[in-house]
Copies of this chain bind each other. A is one copy, B any other.
Amino acid sequence: MRDRSAALVVVGNEILSGKIRDSNAYFAALELRKNGVELKRIAVIPDDLDAIAEEVSYCAQRFDFVLTSGGVGPTHDDLTMEGVARAFKRRLVTHPELARLIRGYMGERANAASLKMAEVPEGATLHEAGDIRFPTVQIENVYVLPGIPQLFETKLLGLVPRFQADPYFMRAIYTRLNESALAEHLNATLENYPRLLLGSYPRIGDSEYRVKLTLESKDHEYLENAFKHLLDLLPRDTVVKVE
């Protein structure tokens, strides 16, 4: 089994203050899962150098790779590159290829602020980002993405093949039993299938079912056996449907 773990660090006061509803975390969660990657942490932090450096350093040490979202423009509150540099104790330097791109794009309007977007931690590498002119910057296992959803999504889709792991298989059971009544059956199933990823999600106000159970594994046969085991434990008339 090829496993891969990931973390997402969302940088932005606008998310924490409720001015903007983040959509990048949900997009990344779906996309990574689809590619067999286990997203183990999402952190939303302010436009603050120390907060960025601390969180990126924490995640880079614990997970196979880290995505950041936001804080990469030309203004005072765009601090992600400097924060990532600090996380790895590197200097911030002007990347000649990025400076060339910015000058080519902006011409005479290229000022100190726009050239700030060419500054990266020393030793960073660049990845082409599909139809987006500006490449994606990588430092160690950290990939720095912009916060604007259209750009974040395109860049993430361009990177995801690099991260690909073995896929998850999933089954679901919708039941009329409540969680308290289900608990013993779930526990019994986990005793027999300790590696099963088993989720229990109650739903309020649905007349059809009370709880959706999700069963997942990267081992297809293991999943099917666990699924059958749990299904056999549940009184037949309490199961509304399975997937």
Contacts and interface: CB of A to CB of B under 8 A. Distances in A.
A175 to B, nearest CB: 12
B17 A76 contact: no
A183 B21 CA distance: 24
Nearest to A14: B199
Given A74-B179, A179-B75, A19 B199 contact: yes
A190 B76 contact: yes
Contacts of A184: 111, 113
A200 B44 contact: no
Q: How many copies does the complex hold?
A: 2
A18 interface: yes
A54 to B, nearest CB: 10
Nearest to A13: B199
A33 B17 contact: yes
Interface in A29-51: 29-34, 38-46, 51
Contacts of A186: 75-76
Given A41-B45, A43-B43, A75-B179, A29 B18 contact: yes
Contacts of A30: 18
A18 B150 CA distance: 19
A182 interface: yes
A24 to B, nearest CB: 12
Contact of A106 (B43, B111, B180, B216): B180
Given A18-B32, A113-B180, 18 more contacts: A13-B199, A14-B214, A15-B29, A16-B38, A17-B29, A17-B38, A18-B30, A19-B214, A41-B46, A75-B183, A75-B186, A76-B190, A77-B200, A111-B181, A111-B183, A113-B183, A148-B202, A150-B205
